[in-house]
Amino acid sequence: MHPTIVVITGASGGIGAALAELLAKRGASLVLVARRKDALHAVAARCGERAYPLVADVSHRDQVRRVVEEALRRFGRIDVWVNNVGQGISRPPSQLTEDDLDEMMQVNVKSALYGMQEVLPHFKQRGEGHVINLSSMLGRLPSAVHRSAYNGAKHFLNALTANFRTEVQQTHPGIQFSLVSPGVVWTDFGRNARHGGPDSRQLPNGQEPEDVAAVIAGVIESRHPDVYTRAGSHERVVAYFDELGSDP
């Protein structure tokens, strides 16, 4: 990997921390963003002097703007912005409340929207840049009923990413927006879900966060617009829609 400046949100654990450590080994300079100060600084320490920890809650636009400003002050530019913040939920659709929907949208969609909008002027000024949004297989296959509002938020994120790409590349083809869709990842995601939930580490057919991080690092190099983290995922999506029989 060429020396690059990467902002990673949700960097205090899970996929974000694994990605930070991998990119640090490859020589990248990092702005690591999360709410949990102690955990964030521990990740930064493992990454070495190229990592700059920045405590912020990216579900608030003003704090995202501060991250952009601090990153530019520290490194002079941003090459890649990784929107990795997310939260699940454990509640079927018939029981969802307005607060449930608001929380899922704020964390899973608005945090990414703020990141894309706030870094975009810098990318346009440079004529290049790369946003990577972490989605989920549940954004394509809404198979987990208890994750209903999360599934919907990730569907929203998928569409938003595609529409951002189309809009921006009409005038700035050097700016890419990529979507990465993991399945089950063995992290604290399940335990941190709204209303609780099963520990993701106990679920079958999952991936280690390091495996997902390796895919994201590959997307930084390839700039592919839409990537799954497991072999066979594309075929599963196609088979799902074939089974719906949506054609006349």
Catalytic site residue from 52, 150, 228, 240: 150
Q: Can you tell me the distance from the alpha carbon of 115 to that of 66, in angstroms, rounded to the nearest whole number? A: 11
Q: Can you tell me the distance from the alpha carbon of 72 to that of 148, in angstroms, rounded to the nearest whole number? A: 38
Tokens found for residue 109: 């969609």
Q: Can you tell me the distance from the alpha carbon of 163 to that of 87, in angstroms, rounded to the nearest whole number? A: 23
Residue 148 parent element (H or E): helix 148-169
Residue 82 parent element (H or E): strand 80-83
Q: CB of 216 within 8 A of CB of 169?
A: no
Longest CA–CA separation in the chain, Å: 59
**Secondary structure letter of residue 59 according to DSSP:** T
228 is catalytic: no
Any idea of the CA torsion for 119, 124, 125, 128, to the nearest 10 degrees? 90
Residue 84's nearest CA partner among 102, 101, 59 is 59
- Cite the active site residues: 150
